[in-house]
Every structure is written in structure tokens, then in C-alpha cells.
Amino acid sequence: MESSKVIHAFYNDDEIVLDAVKSVKADGHHIEEVFCPFPVHGLDKAMGLAPTKLAITAFFYGITGLSVAIWMTNYMMIQDWPQDIGGKPSFSWAENMPAFVPIMFELTVFFAAHLMVITFYMRSRIWPFKKAENPDPRTTDDHFLMEIPVHNNVEELTALLEKTGAVEINVVDKH
């Protein structure tokens, strides 16, 4: 069955694979995935992927951290156990806010960083002890792999990929 087959085109340079992606997309073919040993700047745009909304998520995580810091400093230092430290009584949170700025900053960064890591792992479906999904171990070392679905056009795709500089082209069953 042709529809379960894909072409794996290997490249050995990031600029060559970027140009190849542009050529394949311009020719009207769908690229399933590109596996790279390191991030390639501009590859997401060349593949036509939608921009990520992770920055918005980071902002809301930071706001959550700031809110927790404000609540925590108010509860601990003003309501629960007010203390006269260095002659500065704790009558209100607003009067003592300058002393709480480092705590607010650190918790903002802490929440944003830690929750972003968790969000990234969940969004990427990278779970602890998950088996690697890359189709060839060379993609973690020095090769780039473009995966294109086959629809009775093996010869056409092979000719196009050879023209774009692929060093190896294989037709494999997708599992």
C-alpha cells in the first residue's frame, strides 16, 4: 500500500536542508517532518508551521508567580507575623513593597521558567523514559532527515530530492 510509505531524504548541511525544504514546498509536496541534530533557524517558517504561542503562556506563568509572591509577602510579613525589623514597622504591604521587590522578581522568574519547562515537555510529548521517535540515529549526530509521504510519485520525488542535494534517499514503511 503506497500511502503508508514515506521517503527519507538525508542531508549533511543545515543550509542545504533549508533550501531543500523550500524547493519541496514550492513544488507542492507535503513534508511530514524534518529531523535535525540541532535547531535550524528559519526551518519552521520554510515548512509553513504556525507561530508558537508559548511566549503568551510564559507571560501568564510569570503573572501567576508575581501574584503568589505578592500574596505570600503580604500574608507572611504583614498579616501572620508582622515584625519591627530595623525600625521599620509592617503596617501595610504598600509601605514595605520596596523590600519585597527581590522576592517578587525571583518568584516571577521561578514560576515562568519551571512551568515553561513542564509545558514544553507536555506540548512536545517528551515524557520521562519515552522511547526516541527519530527514524534514524544519524539525525542526533550529523545528518538531517526530511520525511515526505509517498502518493504514487516516488520517481518524481526522488528526482526532486536528488536535485536539492540529498546524500541518501530511502523509501520506507512508516510505522
Residue 81 lies in a domain: yes
pLDDT digits (tens, 9 = 90+) for 102-117: 999 999 999 999 999 9
Angle between helices 54-73 and 93-123 (to 10 degrees): 150
**Do 77 and 27 contact (CB within 8 A), yes or no?**
no
Residue 173 lies in a domain: no
Q: In the structure, what pLDDT confidence band is assigned to residue 3 with cuts at 50, 70 and 90?
A: low
Overall number of domains in the chain: 1
Q: In the structure, what pLDDT confidence band is assigned to residue 170 with cuts at 50, 70 and 90?
A: very high
pLDDT score of 175 more than 80: no
pLDDT digits (tens, 9 = 90+) for 11-28: 999 999 999 999 999 999
Residue 68 lies in a domain: yes
Helix (H) or strand (E) holding 15: helix 14-26
Residue 93 lies in a domain: yes
SS3 12: coil
Residue 19, all three cell numbers: 533550501
Residue 172 lies in a domain: no
**Structural domain that includes position 99:** 54-123
pLDDT digits (tens, 9 = 90+) for 77-90: 889 988 887 777 77
pLDDT score of 58 more than 90: yes
